[in-house]
Amino acid sequence: MARTPAVGRLALALAPVLAWTIQTGGAAPAIPPSPPAAESPADLRTVPFYAVDLADRPVSDLRRGDIELRVDGRAVEPDLFAAPRPAEEAAEARAPRSIFFLFDLAFSTPAGLAEAQRAAAELLDRLPPSDRVHLLLYSSGKSFREEAVPVALDGAGRAALRMRIAGLAPAAERVEAAALYCGAARDLAGSLATLAAFLQQLKGPKVLLYFSQGIDSRVYLEGGRGPDGSRGHGGRSDPLGRRFEEPLAALGRTGALPVFVDAQPAPAEREPPAGFGLEASSELESRASRGDTALRVMSERAGGLLLRQGGARSLVDRLAGWTSAYYEVGFRDPGRPEGQEARTVGEGRGAGRLTLNVRRPGVKVWAPKGVRVPREYRALSDDERRFLMVDLVLAGSRGEASQQLAVTGLYRLDGRFERSAAGDPKSLRFQIQWPRLPGLTALDLYNVVVERPSEAAPGKVVVYDRSVLTPMSAHATLDVSLPASGAYIWGIVAVEPTRGTLYLRRLLVRSPPETAAKQGKR
């Protein structure tokens, strides 16, 4: 199997979390039979939004009549209006809210990171217990890594997260040479694209808190020299911002509230964090101010908020205010002409935008730029296809990713499972029977093995292969060799790429434990 790039590995690491998170209480999903066909998704489109007053305090008493919703330039009467509820009622009424704490260690200063840690730890105490918190880190050249699976905010969960956040340290070396600096930024753009694909298919309310001092604004907007004055390859580099345009736009289409948080203290308020003196870190901190314009541009492109330090307490108050009063307003999708591809409602310019306004004076709102509708398979990115395939294998048609797909049907993939000819008890084979459909010439074939999730962890992807299957293909037989002892879900997904028809077959398998003789040879 070919080596998977770092960003692709991130998608495979996050993919099991998607299906695991939407299970009630994180319980391991059952393995029901492969369905004969998928049901059509509901036509109700939901727009999430948050409301605050002019001082960024939450506003929780808006009514349906206070809201004006426009879709494609015309006023739409909401079919759904859900106001904020007490935490215990909200937990029962809708899916748990997912809060992502993303610490950018590559583009943070020591003082900025220290203030971000303080703000995040204090915010944890204000979030309701129904929230689920993900802790993500970005380091230069390493893509994102998830430090903790979704954590419930009970007493033990809050304490564990505070310890993990307090233990974060800035990057050992802040990259300043142009080639390394631009490479780290490009990796960040690719990781944001993967995260957007994940958030797009995650059910329920979601908030992304991105803690960073930002990429050097000159390099982000103009290209040219790196922060240390060196030049990139060829004497000049293109503006890095171009790499971020589509990932940030995709982030804005997920329905998540993206909050870009610059916790860098003002010079008069600055305190040296442990292990760093003011003099030693002053040059890095002055360079951090170069990223303020880049952060503003990124937040605007993603349709998010930008919050800057105004004293630690003020920053936490504003974060808590913007993430407290959560509303939902919904409308019925009028459908689309036959043959027109599904798109994002509100995507585009001018009359194509989705806008939400509040008629009450003194109230500010955040709402996404658009509402996602089911998309066709051929329009999905590689990351979105990874999430879809793993979600199908784990949850079948009940999975969140499959419900976001416009398909003509989801059918059982005919064939049979058997032991491989080699006789190894850990080696399995599936003989595929070609679907008998007129005009069918090729299928995209995905071979996926995932550890079976448990109540404590989402498991991980151990096999992910993609190939093309034809009636004469040599890949009509699939073989897998299971890893160490344990329970796994083996899934084979075939997709007709033009019409998007899906064929699925799954099997729950257990890898036998090694014998004492084999263990003794180690």
In a domain, residue 310? The reply is yes
What residues form DSSP beta bridges with 447? 465, 492
Judge whether 337 lies within some domain: no
Model confidence at 515: pLDDT above 70: no
189 has pLDDT over 50: yes
Query: 106 and 214 share a domain?
Result: yes
Residue 67 has pLDDT above 50, yes or no: yes
CA distance 106 to 184: 8
CATH code (residue 112) = 3.40.50.410
Rg (CA), the chain: 24
Q: What is the band of 391 on the pLDDT scale with cuts at 50, 70, 90?
A: confident
| Residue 337 predicted with pLDDT over 80 | no
Residues 21 and 202: their CA atoms lie apart, in Å, by 8
Least confident of 223-232, 240-249, 253-262, 375-384: 223-232
Q: Are residues 134 and 222 in the same domain?
A: yes
| 329 closest CA partner among 368, 360, 298, 292 | 368
b/e map of 292-306 (b: 16 or more CB within 10 Å)? bbbbbbbbebbbbbb
Domain that holds residue 411: 6-41+376-520
Q: Are residues 432 and 285 located together in one domain of the fold?
A: no
Q: Are residues 313 and 384 in the same domain?
A: no
CA–CA dist 491, 308 (Å, integer):
46
440 occurs within a structural domain: yes
pLDDT of residue 438: 67
Pair type for strands 363-366 and 354-358? unpaired
Q: Which helix H or strand E contains 71, and what residues bound it? A: strand 67-71
CATH number for the domain including 455? 2.60.40.10
Of 282, 299, 323, the one marking the end of a domain is 323
Q: Identify the helix (H) or strand (E) that includes residue 201.
A: none
Q: Are residues 36 and 89 in the same domain?
A: no
Within this chain, do residues 417 and 299 fall inside the same structural domain, yes or no?
no
pLDDT digits (tens, 9 = 90+) for 141-166: 666 776 656 787 888 889 889 999 99
Percentage of the residues of the chain whose pLDDT score is greater than 70? 66
d(CA 148, CA 162): 12
Residue 306 lies in a domain: yes
User: Which amino acid is residue 423, in one-letter code?
Assistant: G
Same-domain status, 140 and 231: yes
Whether residue 207 is predicted with pLDDT greater than 90 in this model: the reply is yes
All residues at 6 or more sequence positions from 176 whose CB lies less than 8 Å from its CB, including other chains: 226, 227, 228, 230
pLDDT tens by residue, 231-259:
444 444 568 889 999 999 989 888 899 99
Same domain assignment for residues 19 and 132? no
Q: Is residue 66 part of a domain?
A: no
Q: Is residue 333 part of a domain?
A: no
CA nearest neighbour of 226 among 102, 101, 107, 100: 107
pLDDT surpassing 90 at residue 360: yes
pTM to 2 decimal places: 0.77
Total domain count for the chain?
A: 2
DSSP letter assigned to residue 420: -
Q: How far apart are CA 150 and CA 132, in angstroms?
A: 5
pLDDT 10s digits, 273-310: 333 333 334 434 444 446 678 999 999 999 999 998 76
**Does residue 269 share a domain with residue 394?**
no
* Residue at 61 is within a domain: no
Confidence at 344, pLDDT banded by 50, 70, 90: very low
pLDDT, residue 333, reads 63
Domain C-terminal end among 323, 347, 364? 323
- Cβ-contact 260, 298 below 8 angstroms: yes
Whether 162 and 290 map to the same domain: the answer is: yes
Q: Is residue 396 part of a domain?
A: yes
